[in-house]
Chain A
Amino acid sequence: MALERSDLTPPGGGGEPAERPVLVIGAGINGLASAAYLARAGRRVLVLEGRNRLGGMAASVRLDDGPVVSECAHLVTALHPDVMSELGLYRHGLRFSHRRLPTMLLKPGTTLALSEDPWEAEAAIAEIAPGDARAYRRFLELVRRFHEALDPLIANPPARLGGDEAALNEAAHLLGARIGRVSERDFAALATMLAAPVAEVLDGYFASPFLKGGLAFDGVIGAFAAPSWNGTFLSFLQRRFASVSGRWGACGHPAGGLGALADAFWNAARANGAELRLNARVSRIAVDGDRVAGVVLTTGEEIAADIVVSTLHPHATFLELVGARHVDVGFAEDLAHLESRGSVARLTFVIEGLPRLGTHQDEPAPAGRFVIAPDLGYLERALTPAKFGATPAEPAVEFAIPSVHDASMQHEGRHIVTALALHAPLRAAETDETRAAFADAVTQTITRVMPDFRRRVRRAEVLMPRDIEERFGARGGHWHHIDLVPDQAWCLRPHARAAAYRGPLDGLYLAGASSHPWGGVSGLPGRGAAFAILKDRGWG
């Protein structure tokens, strides 16, 4: 039956006509951020979440009768300080079990702790690669200056390309205006490096293969890419622009897992009157001409709205929920061509006691973010099997043991290890056997640097990209929905005609990880979409 705008009823039914709520599809970090900003501005907001819990990919889940652990995302690296302060996340219950986890690069026989403190890191590097110690400080300084230059660009809405020369000029002007103060020399370096392979940039600074491999890991995690691929330095910057402690370069872990962060966002939204419905999966976004008219749930319930914020992939938003017949042919085609190829598997291990690092057999593993990527070639080789649908025998791995610093995750002497492993291919289907085989490869990889790891493992759970897609609705199991590369950044993210949080339908906004600036538990796309709504409606 045709759905007319007048057929739709706001929640609550009859009586006095109430302000139609802004509907937010998805209670992930970005959806909750949008809700919090809109509610803070006095708007009526209703968040619709298809699953039975908050957080999307940043949720926490109880392991059978065991502890509550992060379900997918496991560390906070990209949460923007503006979001934290504007929403008062600490006031709304956010607590970190650790805010400054050092990155520890591991290979058999060698551990390199890259502390947040550059002096400590320099000293550590000097022990294994004396020639790279000073270079590391110079490199960090360059990245810091890039961060300062780019942060205004990251934290503010991008330009919109309108298809004509005037819009292009305006975008160029805005780009110039938004980039912070930067020297002529740095500008040249920035312009060169933004589209460069991370391997090429690192080769220009360092000699140590071990240091380069560990640093390059941040350029390829989350993307179907090798360090020699163009654009991976931009991904590296995104990862290194972490600032959870208020200091550049930090990464942290919320007490209770990532779900605790989602709870803080939700508390910020709820404090201003936002409403939430779990198990409310949207099957269709209703359209009236060129405007959204509301949503229809899988139960058949219709909810009227003038504004809908979708945190889903633009393909799902426009082609599945809205329907191709409501958008232009070329636009639909452009969206269909957005590639979403997840390449990260998420693993959770329950282990008996704490493992020892191979280099420090006398003491249990410390708190940290551990990275196993011994050199650039290792990362290149890890991608090759994935190109052909196979998993690597020696995956690159990032892992943490949050139960070291988060006592709530210890359970009867058992600890939790959360890991991300590259590169897991997006396959048509996964079986228990394929998952177990990859878990074994990851276990073996970690055991090479923690010799007692395998014998401590009591349980392993694996989410391959296909599993991530099915469980969280992330197209292709891709964490950022689409790769973060220069031609899918800023006013081109996710696409020129769906950039700046707006698409071709009035009232429909995009706030997912594929919107500016990126995903990765930053809250910025949700904030940007909320600001776009407030600006468009004159509510700001």
Chain B
Amino acid sequence: MTDMWHAGAPQFWRRSPVTSVLAPLMGQARWRVCGGVGVPAAFSSRGEEEASLRTGAAFTDRSWLSTYLVSGAEAARLLDRVQTRDVSQLQVGHSMRTAAVDDEGRLIDLCTVYRLEEDVFQLAGEVAIGAWLARAAAHFAVALEETTGSLACLQLVGPAIGALLDALGAAQGDRLAAGAMELVEDGSLAFHLCRRGPGTPDAYEMWFSAVTAEHAMRRLLALGETVGLRPVGADAFEALRIATGQPRAFAEFEPAILARERAHARTPFACGAGGLVDLDKPFSGRRALLAAARAPAPRPVRLAIEGFAAARGQSLRAGASLVGVLTSAAVSPSRGASLALGFLDAEPAPGAALEAVGAAGPMRARILGAFEPDPGGPKPRFGRRHGDGG
């Protein structure tokens, strides 16, 4: 069996803790770089991988996410300050999707916060925000540890995952509520299981130590044979993200701490993530977002586009007018079309056909609906008024 890492990945990419197990499973050496880590683009055909995600059991390697452990007496206070949702209300053993913004309310990243213990949190996201977080933590009694690379993360998706979780010894498994976590210890295998959703049903995360990652990976593959567990690459997972309408950094927005131009960064309201902003609680950037919430914002839309040539950056046209732009696009073999996320700066005129404009010419586009990030738990209901908090 050929190790496709050596066959195709630039050696300056970092390797995921499970690369040594996954690389031999790849049919061809096609890689993507995510967060500086080389991850398989695909293991088999897109159609097969999409079918596994929709009807079977599949997993993808997400170990490239930037992760931070925040602990200490003021850990909740710090995270509550730098996140747009009320982290202090998060119960131990639960997680939530939330957002970090800069002083001007521009998105830094969409993050997931996990409350591991009363004063211990894990923060995960696609952007390396360690330096920013350290600066924000300067005045708080917290310990901050970057755990990127020392943890492995697999995302498991598919209706057959429940049976796999039973086999892994999960006490709750598919009975976990969205956002809830469970520590699974089965002999030499220990990992945190976290259910995602509710927007993406049957999606789970497994977090385990990089030290035991290879062992865990092999055990997972062995147990997964009974339910037909298959690895899927980053491309198929990207298509799933677009299909379920999840905005992400470097696509729907440029992280404010990295954006080369101010205009490239967006507020949560301007990239469909307004649902993750609780303006009734204090947080860094809130004042700017109070003003931004009243400002007109482009409409986030999910689209189906004919053919397989849709791509990020293409314009959306209605008649002779440019009305928007595509920020993400992926092929969906099962639909026989492309799926895309984008923004409409202006509403198409009634009766005007919407088109995405590619290099080969216009492609008919159809709006499927709006998109917004999965809250990672029950839909937030904002509106409480917070006091000083001591």
**Which A residues lie at the B interface, using CB under 8 A?**
1-5, 163, 286-290, 293, 319, 323-333, 336, 497, 504
Contact = CB atoms under 8 A, between A and B. Distances in A.
A495 B388 CA distance: 26
A490 to B, nearest CB: 22
Nearest to B77: A325
Given A328-B287, A332-B136, 13 more contacts: A3-B388, A3-B390, A324-B81, A324-B139, A324-B140, A325-B77, A325-B140, A328-B102, A329-B81, A329-B132, A329-B135, A332-B138, A332-B139
A325 B81 contact: yes
A504 B77 CA distance: 19
Contacts of A336: 138-139
A331 B138 CA distance: 12
B104 A289 contact: no
B352 to A, nearest CB: 34
B65 interface: no
B138 A324 contact: yes
Contacts of B285: 328-329
Contact of A2 (B77, B138, B387): B387
Contacts of A4: 387-388
Contacts of B80: 325
Contacts of B82: 329
Interface string B90-109: 00000000000011100000
Contact of A330 (B77, B78, B103): B103
30 contacts: A2-B389, A3-B388, A3-B390, A5-B388, A287-B388, A289-B386, A290-B286, A323-B139, A324-B81, A324-B138, A325-B80, A325-B282, A327-B284, A328-B102, A328-B103, A328-B285, A328-B287, A329-B81, A329-B103, A329-B136, A329-B284, A330-B102, A330-B103, A332-B136, A332-B138, A332-B139, A333-B135, A333-B136, A333-B138, A504-B287
Interface of B: 77-78, 80-82, 102-104, 132, 135-136, 138-140, 282, 284-287, 385-390
Contacts of B286: 290
Contacts of A330: 102-103, 284
Contacts of B390: 1-3
B388 A293 contact: yes
Contacts of A323: 139
Contacts of A163: 104
Nearest to B286: A290
Contacts of B385: 289
A468 to B, nearest CB: 24
A182 B262 CA distance: 37
Given A319-B139, A323-B139, A324-B138, A329 B388 contact: no
B268 to A, nearest CB: 15
A289 B135 contact: no
Which one of B77, B387, B388 has the greatest number of beta carbons of chain A within 10 Å? B388
B130 to A, nearest CB: 14
Contacts of A3: 388, 390
The 10 closest A-B pairs by CB, nearest first: A324-B139, A330-B103, A328-B103, A329-B136, A328-B284, A2-B390, A329-B284, A325-B81, A4-B387, A3-B388
A331 B103 contact: yes
B211 to A, nearest CB: 33
Contacts of A286: 388
Which one of B77, B286, B389 has the greatest number of beta carbons of chain A within 10 Å? B389
B330 to A, nearest CB: 34
B139 to A, nearest CB: 3
A238 to B, nearest CB: 31
Which one of A324, A332, A333 has the greatest number of beta carbons of chain B within 10 Å? A324
Nearest to A287: B388
Nearest to A8: B388
Nearest to A6: B387
Which one of B80, B103, B104 has the greatest number of beta carbons of chain A within 10 Å? B103
Nearest to A335: B139
A5 B385 CA distance: 13
A288 B388 CA distance: 5
Nearest to B81: A325
Contacts of A2: 387-390
